[in-house]
Amino acid sequence: MLKKSLPLLIIAALTALFILSGAHEYLSFEQLREHRLTLNTWVGEQPLLSALVYILIYVVVVALSLPGGTIMTLTGGFLFGALWGGLYTVVGATLGATIIFLIAKTSLGDALLAKAGKSIQSMKAGFNENALSYMFVLRLVPLFPFFIVNLAPAFLGVPLRTYVIATFFGIMPATFVFSLAGSGLGKVFEQGGEFSIAGILTPEMIGALLGLALLSLIPVFYKKWQNRGAS
């Protein structure tokens, strides 16, 4: 049992080490503002290498469930532009989420599920109804913390293919919104202004994400309607 739980224990230890070392403090607007010229120069000189490094860092942030996903996404837009920054973020986040999914799947899934809180237990019915649609909803709308959505499907028997597809496409809308906002950080820094997350998540944007989530639930509603008709 200890051998099976070792991967998750290693991740927990690395996460704690990262936070205790204070390394997470480098994932901040202040650090980005201070080092923006150096970073922009490096990206201009090494576009491929910088993109690969950014994706790798994002993979680590997601796989270890570290704080800083939002600032990383904004940084991607700032450094690479809204389109490429968003794409690199989606790739990095999907790879990181897949790693933690596979580790959880090969570890103590049943034992962790039995001890899990109501957050994971409440997802069980949704996954049983239509795993792909429910995964899309969870990715589109942050009903639960991101790290829980990364782990719960592994404990609840969601197939890897379903998980990867729903993650890749489900996180796209919000990712590109934040990446677009990040692409405008240069002007904010030049003008000495302050940046606010609340300015991105406007009521209109939240409404759009909720609308996409409802569209994702159409297969679930259709299945229930069919079952009702058959009975």
**Amino acid code (one letter) for 183:** S
Q: How confident is the model at residue 228 (pLDDT cuts 50, 70, 90)?
A: low
Distance (Å) of CA 163 to CA 1, 34, 137, 138 = 26, 38, 12, 11
Say yes or no to pLDDT of 139 above 80: yes
State residue 15's pLDDT score.
62
What's the whole-number mean pLDDT along residues 175-187? 83
Q: Count of domains in the chain?
A: 1
Q: Which residues contact 130 (CB under 8 A, 6 or more apart)?
A: 219, 220, 223
Tens digits of per-residue pLDDT, 70-126? 889 989 999 999 899 999 999 999 999 999 898 888 765 555 555 455 666 667 777
Domain that residue 95 falls in: 2-230
**What's the mean per-residue pLDDT of the chain?**
75
Helices (H), the chain: 2-20, 29-45, 47-63, 69-80, 82-105, 109-115, 118-121, 124-129, 131-140, 146-155, 160-170, 172-183, 185-190, 203-216, 218-230
What is this structure's pTM? Answer: 0.76
Q: For residues 159 and 109, is the Cβ–Cβ distance under 8 A?
A: no
State residue 222's pLDDT score.
44
Tens digits of per-residue pLDDT, 183-223? 888 776 676 656 555 555 555 555 555 665 565 555 555 45
Say yes or no to pLDDT of 36 above 50: yes
Q: How confident is the model at residue 163 (pLDDT cuts 50, 70, 90)?
A: very high
Q: How confident is the model at residue 54 (pLDDT cuts 50, 70, 90)?
A: very high
What whole-number distance in Å separates Cα of residue 19 and Cα of residue 29? 17
Q: For residues 55 and 161, is the Cβ–Cβ distance under 8 A?
A: no
Longest dimension (CA), the chain: 66
